[in-house]
Structure 1
Amino acid sequence: MAKAPADEGVRTIKKYPNRRLYDTTASSYVTLADIKQLVMQHAAFVVRDAKSGEDLTRSILLQIILEEEAAGTPLLSEATLANIIRFYGHAMQNHVADHLSRQAELLAELQQKWRSPTAQAWQEMQNQFQKNSDQMLQAMGWKRP
């Protein structure tokens, strides 16, 4: 099977029918924990079905989230998960998806700045996050609890 053009320079993980994951770069089998480490290292990768070549990356990332949510202190409350589910098929689905993506990027930047000694940047990012959240709630006709 030929590599898809978008996969050039990207680590490829193959998922086999027996559910095993094989890292073609490291030439070894890997676990979801290993893939989580790739995510934590900001490594570019794609997970493909070994037989069909179908991109399974989203599915694997969701599996990692499911394991993390079940293992310890959940990041997403039941109410948050229920609200997300309600947006599927709703007219605002694309808007919500864009908003969640922007907020996740903002939080990642915030986390990075938090690691730096600049407390002012932390406060600015926190203020921006609060402002964006308030705007989103207002656009949906919701009020902050």
Structure 2
Amino acid sequence: MQSKKAPAAKPAQRVIKKYPNRRLYDTDTSTYITLAEVKHLVMDSEPFVVRDAKTNEDLTRSILLQIILEEEAGGAPMFSEVALANIIRFYGHSAQGFMGTYLEKNVQAFTDIQAKLAEQSKTVSPEMWAQFMSMQNPLMAGMMGNYVEQSKSMFDKVQEQMLGAFGLKR
């Protein structure tokens, strides 16, 4: 009786090895890849980890920051100098841990809103879409204004709770 070998299960997370020569090796495809290709993995929501080939140290954050740096350097940057300076000021500050979580939750909320809009737009006719696009700037400004106001309100509530925990008032 012949036994059939089941195909090897694909790992849940793609492993990319970074070599000292700065090259990235995708163990899933057994090929060297570029930073642009790593960006495509991010854009496709493909789970991956970047590991140092010698030490096995997790370098994923470093590679993601490198992608952000390249994106910021080319074309239209997402972050203004003021925003970047404000982010830098939180390093070493007592609110550093809180700020990371705060930013992460806000980016996730914005992503969720964007996904809902994309899902709803699938049922929109080309004529309706053209009309919507002509109103986009005021609509987006209003939506972002509401979002920022909700975000500020959430931040104020958390700040009140933090101060209250230490018996302080604003």
TM-score category (smaller protein): 0.7 to 0.9
Q: Structure 1 residue 27 and structure 2 residue 46: aligned?
A: no
Q: Structure 1 residue 131 and structure 2 residue 150: aligned?
A: yes
How many Å apart are 1:133 and its aligned residue?
3.1
Structure 2 matches for 1:106-121, cutoff 5 A?
Answer: 106-117=109-120
SS of alignment partner, residue 63 of structure 1: helix
Give per-residue Cα distances to partners, 1:19-76, cap 9 Å, x unaligned: 0000000110101110001001111000000000000000000000000000111001
Residue 3 of structure 1: aligned partner: none
Residue 59 of structure 1: aligned partner: 62
How many Å apart are 1:137 and its aligned residue?
6.6
8 Å Cα contact 1:12/1:47 also seen in 2: yes
Counterpart CA distance in 2 for 1:130 and 1:64 is 30
Q: Which runs of 5+ in 1 are unaligned?
A: 1-7, 141-145
Q: CA RMSD in A?
A: 2.4
8 Å Cα contact 1:103/1:129 also seen in 2: no
SS of alignment partner, residue 116 of structure 1: helix
TM-score with structure 1 length normalisation?
0.80
Q: Which runs of 5+ in 2 are unaligned?
A: 1-10, 125-138, 161-170
SS of alignment partner, residue 120 of structure 2: coil
- Structure possessing the higher relative contact order (Cα contacts under 8 Å, 6 or more residues apart): 1
- Tell me the amino acid that sits aligned with residue 14 of structure 1: K
User: How many residues align structurally?
Assistant: 130
Structure 2 matches for 1:63-78, cutoff 5 A?
Answer: 63-78=66-81
- Tell me the amino acid that sits aligned with residue 42 of structure 1: S
TM-score with structure 2 length normalisation?
0.69
Identity in percent = 51
Residue 143 of structure 1: aligned partner: none
